[in-house]
Structure 1
Amino acid sequence: MAAGEIVYQREHTLDPLDFIDVLQRSTLAERRPVHDLTRIQQMCDTANMIITARIDGKLIGIARSLTDFSFCTYLSDLAVDEFYQRKGIGIRLIKETKLHTPVAKLILLAAPKAVDYYPKTGMTKHEHCFMLSDVNELKV
């Protein structure tokens, strides 16, 4: 792995301070309890699908989900450091999440600022929610 290369991986644990940091460097902190470490810790401890994007160990993107691996995966948090946005990291985090839960439908609730982003990825709008049934529907 070269220095400065983005590494995508599934992680089984997530440091709550790293999570808060990337939420604050994205625009998601305004809609997450970043000042309540107990809640953030619980969010990190109970998520059972965490896909990260890191550069030289630094967390620059995350897809934090809850899944049963067979019917549905709820992608609760998709956050990318604003400095690294518009480089395909968000779509790659979605794709990696879907690849780890291939038969489950991927479901998320869009942040108001992101409503126009998800249709561009190939996800289908369903009222106020987006769903991805097949990884091949992603427009990469």
Structure 2
Amino acid sequence: MTVQITYKVNAEINALELSSVFKASGIKRPVDDLPRLGRMIEHADILISAWDGNQLVGIARAITDFSYCCYLSDLAVNKNYQKNGIGKELISLLKDELGEEVALLLLASQEAMGYYPRIGFNEIDNGFKIARKR
């Protein structure tokens, strides 16, 4: 099956579309809390999206100062579209938006630890976090 994927920067996305791509990707997010997903969209600095026609099939959602660092909060691709380079292209487009001065950081799930080095990320061991309560 050959599909034509269209990529968009900061396209309008609603909470239901985001929920659908999260569910279809397997990423653990509050997929049934649409108001919270709406806030996640509203407060993102960059949204890079992948579309098959009118269907959202991938998303990179990031928070950044556009000067020094960027946190990649979500990278999700519908499982039916994975292994086609969509995630790698979403990251490439995000890096283009950020430029060379900005470091790209993320926290990976255990399942994704092997993926990120394949698309250009280096593993680091000097980080800390305070976990969310819900």
Same fold (TM over 0.5): yes
The equivalences for 1:54-93 within 5 A come to: 54-93=51-90
Q: TM-score, normalised by structure 1?
A: 0.84
Q: Secondary structure of the residue that 2:51 maps to in structure 1? A: strand
Structure-2 residue corresponding to 1:125 = 123
CA root-mean-square deviation: 1.6
CA separation in 1, counterparts of 2:81 and 2:55? Answer: 12
Q: TM-score, normalised by structure 2?
A: 0.88
Deviations 1:5-28 (A, max 9, x none): 111110253211000000000011
- The structure richer in strand per residue is 1
Deviation at 1:121, TM superposition (A): 1.1
The equivalences for 1:1-140 within 5 A come to: 4-28=3-27, 31-102=28-99, 103-127=101-125
Q: Provide structure 2 residue ranges, at least 5 long, that are not aligned to the other structure.
A: 128-134
Deviations 1:4-55 (A, max 9, x none): 4111110253211000000000011xx2111211211110110010000001
Percent of residue pairs identical: 40
Deviations 1:34-78 (A, max 9, x none): 121121111011001000000112100000011111111111000
Q: Provide structure 1 residue ranges, at least 5 long, that are not aligned to the other structure.
A: 130-140
User: Number of residues paired by the alignment?
Assistant: 125
Q: Secondary structure of the residue that 1:54 maps to in structure 2? A: strand
CA separation in 2, counterparts of 1:33 and 1:42? Answer: 12
Moved over 4 A (4+): none
